[in-house]
Amino acid sequence: MSLKEQITEDMKTAMRAKDSERLLTIRNLLAAMKQKEVDERVVLDDVAVVAIVDKLIKQRKDSIAAFEGAGRQDLADKEKAEMTVLQGYLPERMSAEETLAAVKAIVAELGAAGPGDMGKVMGVVKTRLAGKADMGQVSAAVKAALAG
């Protein structure tokens, strides 16, 4: 079963269980997926779905920080609940050590040295580690590998 089919099944399950918060989050995810399919005239594969989930999680993290900064804990809690549902659709993530090791291997493979090669390294790293590692960790690992 593809990730897209799994999300659709989860929506049906949430409807039957009358789990309104989960249902709303899943519907928002499906809407974002449909929007991408319509805009780009493509059928999403699992990698593309994971990228959309990643983007939505990043949006939730930004919202949580803004709401907590404004003293709106009720809205921050709602965003945290949505983020938890979305994280269920991500594959198992690499640890920080695994990410650093993978980045160092790619840097050595490309013969990259210095901050000037960051763009070249990030291009390769993004294609190889997309969906497998947190891109914030990846960016920090690339900076560390090129600096040292």
Q: For the segment 31-64, what is each residue's pLDDT rounded down to a tens digit?
A: 999 999 999 999 988 888 888 998 999 999 999 9
CA dihedral sign of residues 65, 46, 105, 146: negative
| Structure confidence at residue 93 (pLDDT) | 78
Neighbours of 131 (CB within 10 A): 17
- Give the whole-angstrom CA distance, residue 67 versus residue 55: 18
Sorted by where each starts, the structural domains of the chain and their CATH numbers stand as 3-87 (1.10.1510.10), 96-147 (1.10.10.410)
- Token pair, residue 73, equals 């804990």
- Give the whole-angstrom CA distance, residue 13 versus residue 51: 24
Q: For the segment 125-146, what is each residue's pLDDT rounded down to a tens digit?
A: 777 777 677 777 777 887 877 7
Angle of helix 73-87 versus helix 46-69 axis, rounded to 10: 160
Which of 13-17, 75-79, 100-104 shows the lowest per-residue confidence on average (mean pLDDT)?
Answer: 100-104
Which of 20-24, 25-29, 44-48, 94-98 shows the lowest per-residue confidence on average (mean pLDDT)?
Answer: 94-98
